Structure 1
Amino acid sequence: MREPVELRRKRILAVVHARGAVKVSALATELDVSAVTLRRDVEELARAGMLRRGHGVVRPVGDEAGPAAPVPAARSGEPAGEAAPVALVVPERHSYLYETLHGARTALEEAGARIALHIAPQAAGAERPQVERALAAGVRGLLIAPRWRSAAGEEADYDWLAEVGVPTVLMERRPRPGSALHAVDTVCSDHWYGIHLAVDHLVSLGHRRLVLAARNDSPTARSIRAAFADIATARPEVEDWSVVLSSPNAGPGEPGSREEVPDLAALLRERGVTGAVLHGDEDALMLVQRLAESGIRVPRDCSVVAYDDVVAALGSTALTAVAPPRAEIGRAAAELLLHRLAHPAGTTGPVRRTELLPRLEVRGSTRELPAPAN
């Protein structure tokens, strides 16, 4: 099927605005368009004032020709004028970040940017060798979502990651304020707001005794735990709350610390809990099964809100869930990186620490608490 003219020209503009300057011959090859068609499109776009052309090179409007706006140099073995790739570094087997990766990849491909994907193994410090390998290969920018299983492991990466030497955007990660990474672009979910949605939903249904069963092996998990304690303490309607580990493999938490995994059914009965927030989805589905085996039915005996919404809707009881905007995080991070790459250093404005708000998907695992019998 022939590509519509409008779509092809949008792709041309996306590449030109991402790169700053591109040779017409390289652009035709990259977009798999004939040189004749590409030149005709460029002429029409230039006539409409949407880009500038001259001497075999196209540039964004306002990007003056000359030494200050060179075509990116090709590495050995690359076609002349072809820009270096953008590195995407993500942890292996991380379902939560898969959609973030997909969102970033889609935005980069739409802009015509080449991608070098690096998968970091499940080991402490695994991201650094991947980043060093990408830099040695000549990437021009970095999108990264480190695993950071503990706060100590996170701190250990701050100094070197702040000095990589290419434009960098952190995805779904918010470094400690005042750290070396405070002045690095970040795009992430507002997990405080996500927990606010969960607690507010349960409280609105009459639940006053709550528990958070959560992981403790990622920045998201640590943010969720802190937010739940903050919000539950501040809500006068909440009579009792607690935070526990969701499963034996949901740690390790901090080095030297140890956190027991309670019997959730026994905890609910002991503390009279009627509302639970469970992080993440797979742990939530497993915990709901265990509650049923112990005679606690969801939502009749306990309302449940999952956090992640990757597979929460697939349980025998579809779980109400907080859904962070995972794909949108990746897309926004990629667009921010492309903005940095398209402008000379120092002209792209201040560092951005962007947060996108999660949403609440209400399903069958929550219900209003019945009024007590007289």
Structure 2
Amino acid sequence: MREPVDVRRTRILAVVHARGAVKVSALASELEVSMVTLRRDVEELARTGMLRRGHGVVRPMGDTGPTTPVPAARSGEPVGAGAAVGLVVPERHSYLYETLHGARTALEEAGARITLHIAPQMAGAERPQVERALAAGVRGLLIAPRWRSAAGEEADYGWLAEVGVPTVMMERRPRSGSVLHAMDTVCSDHWYGIHLAVDHLVSLGHRRLVLAARNDSPTARSIRAAFAEIAAARPEVEEWSVVLSSPNAGPGEPGTLEEAPDLTAHLRERRVTGAVLHGDEDALMLVQRMTENGIGVPRDCSVVAYDDVVAALASTSLTAVSPPRAEIGRAAAELLLYRLGQPAGTTGPVRRTELLPRLEVRGSTRALPGPAD
């Protein structure tokens, strides 16, 4: 699927802000886009004042060459005047990049200097990025680890608990009772998001449902658990199932095996009329495959996507659960700024904030026809 322009430009900004000066040729190769496309994006980003363009090189705004990191301020001092805050997010994760931009807005309004660190797609990639940020003198951290598996998540708990600066986790909720239970977190309420999806389908008369979901992130694991709980508790639901959305969507757990079924065959065998598909790109591909195999959306099967990053761009715009991505980032940044503004030695109660997703109803769902129809 062709990457949306705004997502691609967000990736460009993320790399440039993380590394400072970057050669245009190297940037095009890393992001896997043509030089023509990249130059066009760079020109537009420079025109709107989001980065600086030189001879074959792009830099963050305000960066004219190597600089000395701003020393970390003491807790309780004003956050402005260039005090540094570290943001750590996974690479190639358009969902979390929108969260990042929400955080960036709040931090820039407060006068904080942002140092962005992109964690590669490998186990344990966040720790070196956090250590690099701490070595540069950041006063606080906003972090969203990739955590492809629950085991990988647990492996990070120990060192994350010892970072030594105020830290707020975005779109991640560590296991209850773990050493990170008392860390500030700001998350979407994915249970409520799945409730919205199931309730919408049930209200339209659908009684046989499936969730085709990823299994390689904390969000995916939350969505799967919520669907199983909610579908089992709804007396209207006659049958439900959970399957893997695509072969590269997991599983994230070591030693486990979960094959992605032929969804169209699964829909026919189970006589499914309502499907929830996570995430957006997988949803678009699955809907395309369903259509190619004679299953009309929403004629034969109503579809609700989960993420709403690009769901509206489908040929039939997909009804979607839309988590408040930018608002998550802003709320996390505001919480971190509050922590940084407290006098030394002052903590206060830990905050575990949840924001509710909303349902965007579009053209991929309809009421199940009755016998007369």
TM-score range, shorter chain: 0.7 to 0.9
Q: Equivalent residue for 1:105?
A: 104
Q: Equivalent residue for 2:139?
A: 140
* 1:263 maps onto 2:256 in alignment: no
* 1:281 maps onto 2:287 in alignment: no
Q: Please state how far the C-alpha of 1:91 moved relative to its aligned partner.
A: 0.4
| TM-score (norm. length: structure 2) | 0.78
What are the superposed Cα offsets for residues 127-170 of structure 1, whole Å, 9 maximum, x if unpaired? Answer: 00000111111110000000000000000001100110000000
Matches within 5 A, 1:150-299: 150-299=149-298
What are the superposed Cα offsets for residues 151-201 of structure 1, whole Å, 9 maximum, x if unpaired? Answer: 000000011001100000000000000011100000000000000000000
CA gap of 1:68–1:209, structure 2 versus 1, over 3 A, is closer
Matches within 5 A, 1:32-47: none
| TM-score (norm. length: structure 1) | 0.78
- Structure 1 runs not aligned, ≥5 long: 1-66, 73-80
- Which residue identity does 1:288 align to in structure 2? V
8 A contact 1:127–1:146 mirrored in 2: yes
Helix, strand or coil for the counterpart of 1:119? strand
Residues in 1 aligned to 2:81 and 2:356: alpha-carbon distance in whole angstroms? 37
Q: Equivalent residue for 1:359?
A: 358
Q: Please state how far the C-alpha of 1:344 moved relative to its aligned partner.
A: 1.4
Output the aligned Cα RMSD. 1.6
Residues in 1 aligned to 2:76 and 2:272: alpha-carbon distance in whole angstroms? 63
Residues in 1 aligned to 2:153 and 2:371: alpha-carbon distance in whole angstroms? 47
Helix, strand or coil for the counterpart of 2:256? coil
8 A contact 1:144–1:171 mirrored in 2: yes
8 A contact 1:169–1:186 mirrored in 2: yes
Q: Please state how far the C-alpha of 1:83 moved relative to its aligned partner.
A: 5.0
8 A contact 1:339–1:348 mirrored in 2: no
CA gap of 1:370–1:124, structure 2 versus 1, over 3 A, is same
Helix, strand or coil for the counterpart of 1:116? strand
Helix, strand or coil for the counterpart of 1:250? coil
Q: Equivalent residue for 1:128?
A: 127
Helix, strand or coil for the counterpart of 2:95? helix
Residues in 2 aligned to 1:353 and 1:84: alpha-carbon distance in whole angstroms? 25
Q: Please state how far the C-alpha of 1:337 moved relative to its aligned partner.
A: 0.1
- Which residue identity does 1:168 align to in structure 2? T
- Structure 2 runs not aligned, ≥5 long: 1-73
Q: Please state how far the C-alpha of 1:70 moved relative to its aligned partner.
A: 6.2
8 A contact 1:285–1:312 mirrored in 2: yes
Residues in 1 aligned to 2:229 and 2:97: alpha-carbon distance in whole angstroms? 29
Residues in 2 aligned to 1:280 and 1:221: alpha-carbon distance in whole angstroms? 9
Residues in 2 aligned to 1:270 and 1:346: alpha-carbon distance in whole angstroms? 61
CA gap of 1:232–1:82, structure 2 versus 1, over 3 A, is same
Q: Equivalent residue for 2:56?
A: none
Residues in 2 aligned to 1:286 and 1:328: alpha-carbon distance in whole angstroms? 28
8 A contact 2:78–2:341 mirrored in 1: no
Runs of 4+ residues over 3 Å off in structure 1:
67-72, 81-84, 345-348
- Which residue identity does 2:366 align to in structure 1? R
Residues in 2 aligned to 1:372 and 1:242: alpha-carbon distance in whole angstroms? 25
CA gap of 1:347–1:151, structure 2 versus 1, over 3 A, is same
Q: Name the count of aligned residue pairs.
A: 300
- Which residue identity does 1:200 align to in structure 2? D
Helix, strand or coil for the counterpart of 1:160? helix
Residues in 2 aligned to 1:132 and 1:315: alpha-carbon distance in whole angstroms? 41
Q: Equivalent residue for 1:63?
A: none
Greater displacement, 338-347 / 278-287: 338-347
CA gap of 1:157–1:68, structure 2 versus 1, over 3 A, is closer
8 A contact 1:276–1:303 mirrored in 2: yes
Residues in 1 aligned to 2:249 and 2:76: alpha-carbon distance in whole angstroms? 50
CA gap of 1:184–1:293, structure 2 versus 1, over 3 A, is same
Residues in 2 aligned to 1:221 and 1:106: alpha-carbon distance in whole angstroms? 27
Q: Equivalent residue for 1:350?
A: 349
CA gap of 1:347–1:256, structure 2 versus 1, over 3 A, is same
What are the superposed Cα offsets for residues 224-251 of structure 1, whole Å, 9 maximum, x if unpaired? Answer: 0000000000000000000000001100
- Which residue identity does 2:203 align to in structure 1? S
